[in-house]
Amino acid sequence: MSKRNWGKVRDCMRREVTEVDGKLDVLSALKVMKEVGATSLIVKRRDEDDEYGFLTFADIARYVIAKDRAPERVNVYEVMAKPVLSVRPDMEVRYCARLFENFGISHAPVIEDGKVVGIVSFYLLVLHGIMPDLD
């Protein structure tokens, strides 16, 4: 039995990353998400010693919609995840999928040399990890 090469995260990640300020209201963040076609946003660090935050549709559903809060009155920093688990671009796809499963997450920023270079998700891991074999 041969070992399958699933590839690296860098081959699956979305390279177009949108960063927003944590003080932005959720309604404005949703407008940004719609404009760029993203389901998650990176929340900028306040300084070099800070960590990146991460905002997903799930966070908005859980902490704004489910709690009946007005999205224009909730700041991103109130509902984002921070600190977040991140992955390296040279991590093997299979280990990224295991990390997601182990920690119950579905998206992660891809960080190289302290900078966000992409975002990866279960969707992208499957789309680029298995789907090419279906052609």
Q: Encoding tokens for residue 58?
A: 């799930």
Per-residue confidence in pLDDT tens, the chain, 135 aa: 457 778 899 999 999 999 999 999 999 999 999 999 999 999 999 998 999 999 999 999 999 999 999 999 999 999 999 999 999 999 999 999 999 999 999 999 999 999 999 999 999 998 887 655 554
pLDDT of residue 118: 97
- Give the integer Cα–Cα distance in Å for 101 and 37: 25
Residue 34's pLDDT is what?
96
Structural domains for the chain: 9-134 (3.10.580.10)
Whether 117 contacts 12, CB under 8 Å? no
For residue 18, give the nearest of 28, 9, 8 by alpha carbon: 28
Classify each residue of 53-82 as buried b or exposed e, where b means 16 or more C-beta atoms within 10 Å of its C-beta. Answer: bbbbeebbeeebeeeeeeeeebebeebbbe
